[in-house]
Amino acid sequence: MSGQIETFSIEFNIPFFTGKETKYIKDAVKNAKISGNGLYTQKCQSFFEEKYGFKKCLLTSSCTDALEMAAILCDIKPGDEVIAPSYTFVSTVNAFILRGAKVVFCDSRSDHPGIDESKIESLITEKTKAIVVVHYAGVACDMDLVMDLANRNDIFVVEDAAQAIDNYYTGKDGIQKPLGAIGHLATFSFHETKNIISGEGGMLVVNDERFVKRAEIIWEKGTNRSAFFKGEVDKYGWVDIGSSFLPSEIIAAFLYAQLENLDKIQDKRKAIWNHYKEELGSLEQAGKIRLAYIPSFSTNNAHMFYLICKSMEERDDLIAYLKSEGIMAVFHYLSLHSSPYYKDKHDDRKLVNSDLYSNCLVRLPFYFKLSMNDQIKIQNAIKNFFMKN
């Protein structure tokens, strides 16, 4: 994780606003309903349920909160094990650790920073309760492999789809499914760095019918308030653990303005992504770098464009060079298995691909309003750097 505070002539990320966000917020204010689970929350949830066939969606204050709901729904108890990639954001695993889980970290694929599905089976024990896969850069994990493992071992699958809005996986049967619709549970992020944003924000997707009722209770602070509003009980009370996972209607109103523009946003992002891929392809062909890769079973939601250098030194030099050219490029996660918090808790397995991406991956500026001129500047700067190296 990195987070420079200087200003650049080309920033790494600039949030995009459709222009209707404050209009809808004003409308929520006018309706005098700004606490959670109002009209705009329901509009957003319905949008996802209808467009992607998710069984039940619940907006949350963050993807972290959605992951915490998932951990509670999986009934994680102290001593349970959860398998997750090491190359991910801390929230992927913190949510499970807060419930007492031991996290067993899995390496990344050699061709892509996503979890190496072929290594999961050897990590499963009698204590394994859940597998959390992360669709890194929005790119699908090989969900057939993951779901097959989970089903054979009676384990829950949580898709951390924080970056994976509007992306699809094609299984061996040739059927294309939206990411977030495959695992028992899935989580999305609307943090300002994502394709669709609400500042902070997230969503839990419940695909397994067994979880729906409890999810609503946990979302409403462990009360059966949802059942009360549906007229199923005559007063509501405390029936379970839970938290205040639901966001303000102000956030939901903002989000809805973004969702209305999903196609427009995605089209523009895909154009930017493709341009990077085409223009930097020659460097990849020359063996200088590896570029963002999309396996054949995944479509591309253009969340991020990254490249992989040959060493940490080269990567750091590239970031420094781009900075000298006014361009902000950033590295990404640091392997969680060797973090200050977890290094003494991790077994002694080396996770070489995770470390490789920690050391050698760099993300390029990527946002809706990135101009063609700026993109050409970035590409030329990268070409210049590798001509000299």
Identified binder of its own copies from the candidate list 65, 142, 159, 355, rule CB under 8 A: 65
How far, in Å, are 1, 4, 98, 329, 379 from residue 323 at the CA level?
17, 10, 38, 7, 13
Taking CB under 8 A as the rule, which mask of x and - marks residues 329-368 in contact with its own copies?
Answer: -----x-x--xxxx--------------------------
260 near its own copies, rule: CB under 8 A: no
242 near its own copies, rule: CB under 8 A: yes
The CA-based diameter of the chain, rounded to the nearest angstrom, is 74
Of the two residues 11 and 148, which places its CB atom closer to its own copies in the complex?
Answer: 11
The CB-of-242 to its own copies minimum distance in angstroms stands at 6
Distance CA 233, CA 79 (A): 36
Question: What are the structure tokens assigned to 83, written together?
Answer: 């398998």
Identified binder of its own copies from the candidate list 10, 12, 36, 351, rule CB under 8 A: 36
Q: 131 with 159: CB under 8 angstroms?
A: no
Of the two residues 93 and 283, which places its CB atom closer to its own copies in the complex?
Answer: 93
Phi, psi of 22 (to 5 degrees): -75, -25
Burial of 129 (0-12, 13-18, 19+ CB in 10 A): buried
User: Which one of 134-142, 169-177, 241-249, 281-289 is the stretch in contact with its own copies (CB under 8 A)?
Assistant: 241-249
Of the two residues 30 and 388, which places its CB atom closer to its own copies in the complex?
Answer: 30
Of the two residues 172 and 230, which places its CB atom closer to its own copies in the complex?
Answer: 230
Burial of 201 (0-12, 13-18, 19+ CB in 10 A): buried
Q: 354 with 86: CB under 8 angstroms?
A: yes
Question: What are the structure tokens assigned to 300, written together?
Answer: 């591309």
Name the amino acid, one letter, at 326.
G
Of the two residues 51 and 264, which places its CB atom closer to its own copies in the complex?
Answer: 264
Taking CB under 8 A as the rule, which mask of x and - marks residues 91-120 in contact with its own copies?
Answer: x--xx-xx-x--------------------
Q: Catalog residues that contact its own copies under the rule CB under 8 A.
A: 1-3, 5, 14-15, 17, 21-22, 25-26, 29, 32-36, 61-65, 68, 78, 89-91, 94-95, 97-98, 100, 191-193, 197-201, 221-223, 225, 228-229, 235-244, 246-251, 254, 334, 336, 339-342
